[in-house]
Amino acid sequence: MPELPEVETVRGGLEEILQDRSVIKKVRLMRPDIRFKIPVELPRRLAGQIFTGVRRRAKYLLLDTPKVTLLSHLGMTGSWRLAADGTEDKHDHCYIEFEDGRRLAFRDPRRFGIIDLLEPGQEASHPRLKNLGAEPLEDAFNAEYFFAASRKRKIAAKVFIMDQRIVVGIGNIYASETFFRARVRPTRPAGRLTRDECERLVDSSRAILRDAIRAGGSSIRDYRGADGLAGSFQGRHQVYDREGEPCRICRTPIDQKVIGGRSTFWCRRCQK
């Protein structure tokens, strides 16, 4: 599933595509639902509007117009990209056509994505957004916040940092990489993390996410940005998906264990 760096890369790509503020001519829905039902009024509400900005909240994309916001989640395999006439695909579920002749397509082979409408003033109360935690690249996510939230929590620290109610956007790939950079073992109970370890985890997560954004994200399978290009950060993974391979620092074979239903990777020598 695309994580924060991949979604942020798509956000930046969409912002570049839509910066000329072209008028939306028509929206075509190729099916009534993806993961959930798509609002039937969406084509009517967007027609004649212009996108004034593209934002990200957690792993959600928010495409603003003066009257309504298009809310989108990429799910497992979703993507937004320009699609010329004659390039239709059976996995294209929504087309946004502009007056200048361009066409934006939402493609999602596995149909875990989301397309919804967000009314003005509804962001704080929308059911998909209201329970989201701190943004990891913003000041609200700091060592004191993370330490306080982790007290008395018995779950593994890696599961805790992936809890979207605590901090958003850090999925399986970047959680493993964060714990390696911070030299903290991901199996440790969250409630036993020290203040120093929480500070290292916060700093490491920010550094990892920023590096990944600059690299266009990680393309493990079929992720592509809005420009159709793959990310390159997968070539810099230190532990993720490297079970049995030597640690790049100490040469100890990388361990793997399923924690919280997700494969977790770490170096038993470097991480304590």
**210 phi and psi, to 5 degrees?**
-65, -40
Contacts 24+ apart (CB under 8 A), 6-9: 6/74, 6/217, 6/218, 6/223, 6/225, 6/231, 7/56, 7/59, 7/60, 7/61, 7/74, 7/169, 8/56, 8/213, 8/217, 9/213, 9/216, 9/217, 9/225, 9/226, 9/231
CB atoms < 10 A from the CB of 130, how many?
10
- Which one of 3, 6, 97, 197 is the catalytic residue? 3
CA–CA distance, 39 with 42 (Å, rounded to integer): 5
From 2, 5, 136, 186, the catalytic residue: 2
2 assigned to active site: yes
Active site residue 44: no
Q: Please pick, among 153, 183, 206, 262, the residue that the annotation labels catalytic.
A: 262
CA nearest neighbour of 225 among 49, 12, 27, 53: 12
Greatest Cα pair distance, the chain, in angstroms, is 59
Rounded to the nearest 5°, which phi and psi values hold at 64?
Answer: -85, 140
Annotated active-site residue 15? The verdict is: no
Strand 103-107: give its sheet, edge to edge. 24-29, 92-98, 103-107, 79-82
- Is residue 3 annotated as a catalytic residue, yes or no? yes
Give dist(CA 207, CA 255) in Å, integer. 23
Report helix, strand or coil for 62. strand
Q: Which of 56, 59, 107, 242 is catalytic?
A: 59
CA distance 171 to 97: 33
Catalytic residues: 2-3, 59, 262
